[in-house]
Amino acid sequence: MYEDIKKKFKEVEGQLSSPEVINNPEKLKEVSSQHAELKDAIEMIFELEKTEDHLAQNEEIIKEEKDAELKEMAQAELEELQNKAQELKKKIELELHPADPRDKKDIIVEIRAGTGGDESALFAADLFRMYTRYAERRSWKIDVLDSNRIGIGGFKEIIFAVKGKGVYGDLKYEAGTHRVQRVPETEKAGRIHTSAVTVAVMPEAEEIDLKIEPKDIRIDTFCSSGPGGQSVNTTYSAIRITHLPTGLVVSCQDQKSQHQNKEKAMQVLRSRLLAKMEEERREKESAERMAQIGSGDRSEKIRTYNFPQDRVTDHRIKLTLHSISRFMDGELDEMINALKEEDLKLRAAQ
């Protein structure tokens, strides 16, 4: 049934041992990515074939076997095997033809403090910790690319990459404005404050996705700075890259060397450019945009975290969860699964 996929996987696997591919880093990265994408589907296809063989054996026993006890056992197992085969077929189809091909991509997340001053910056740090804890639960890797700390421990801005299986497919729903209602640590009178933090989630763009010409960028160097703007070193290791055609500016200073900062800044720039191109495409397809759970626009308030009432409410699907401490500790599965289900319903209704 899936002979073409198995043939394709065998070809890709053969390319991985080819000297032509091994000696070409860009080609090796591309082929490795193809191999990783096909591997899960192939494993499920082999599992399906084993299940269907087992199913055929049981059907043969039911039809031919004289022993009543063996027939009864085969019959009891039959429905379970049929359900398993159907479930595997659905998973294989989704793996080979995802609703959004970008769902398998790694991502770059940008969290920025909004209204609320220091309290907003502190909540930006809380959200970063929340996503870090969620990533740990999923065995994903987080790599901080750039950050702008304030003295009391918050972030005016933090940009980080998340790498792992199905990252964009899970975290794309986090894009938007996150509102927090709580008594700030700095509030002596015990009054509840409302603050906001914006989150952008972009599928990571690799060089094979988007080529940036050297003539289209300007690179400036400067000294890294810490909280309050003080210089933390005297070497010009921090990098600022300006994309001249669009005016997009990316800076990176968290890495140890100028080369590392440049590499990370280019990583962010590619993803921002790809996100900008995608946004322009979606604006042209307004009907599709209206059908989405969230546009990904950071001006859109998607969620409220109310600490005094111990609740988190997602405004897009009108879902409220309690035990906010568990949610902030990275237990996001219930919310994310509900968002995925609603997204699937909307897509099916198109």
Predicted confidence (pLDDT) at residue 220 exceeds the cutoff of 60: yes
> How far is residue 246's CA from residue 6's CA, in Å, rounded to a whole number?
43
The 3-class secondary structure across 34-99, one letter per residue, is HHHHHHHHHHHHHHHHHHHHHHHHHHHHHHHCCCHHHHHHHHHHHHHHHHHHHHHHHHHHHHHCCC
Identify the CATH number of the domain in which residue 245 sits. Answer: 3.30.160.20
Whether 287 is in a domain gets the answer no
The CATH number that applies at residue 163 is: 3.30.70.1660
Range of the domain at 334: 102-208+292-349
Structure tokens at 10: 């065998």
Residues 247 and 298 in one domain: no
CA 85 to CA 51: how far, in whole Å?
6
Has residue 116 got a pLDDT over 50? yes
Interval 122-169: pLDDT, tens: 999 999 999 999 999 999 999 999 899 888 889 999 999 999 988 999
108 shares a domain with 200: yes
Q: Are residues 115 and 196 in the same domain?
A: yes
What's residue 212's pLDDT?
A: 87
Average pLDDT, whole number, for the chain?
85
Q: Which residues contact 33 (CB under 8 A, 6 or more apart)?
A: 206
| Same domain (yes/no): 128, 230 | no
Tokens (6 digits) for 182: 């709580």
Among 31-40, 62-71, 121-130, the range of highest mean pLDDT: 121-130
Q: Is the pLDDT of residue 296 over 50?
A: no
Residue predicted with more confidence, 316 or 101 = 316
pLDDT digits (tens, 9 = 90+) for 298-330: 456 899 999 999 999 999 999 999 999 999 999
Please report the pLDDT score of residue 297 as a whole number: 47
- pLDDT, position 289: 40
What confidence category does residue 291 fall into, taking pLDDT thresholds of 50, 70 and 90? very low
Of 63, 96, 129, which residue constitutes the final position of a domain? 96
Q: Is the pLDDT of residue 15 over 70?
A: yes
| Domain stop point among 96, 128, 147 | 96
Q: Is residue 133 included in any domain, yes or no?
A: yes
Do 184 and 131 sit in the same domain of this protein? Answer: yes
> What percent of the chain clears pLDDT 90, i.e. is strictly above it?
42
| Residue 257 pLDDT > 80 | yes
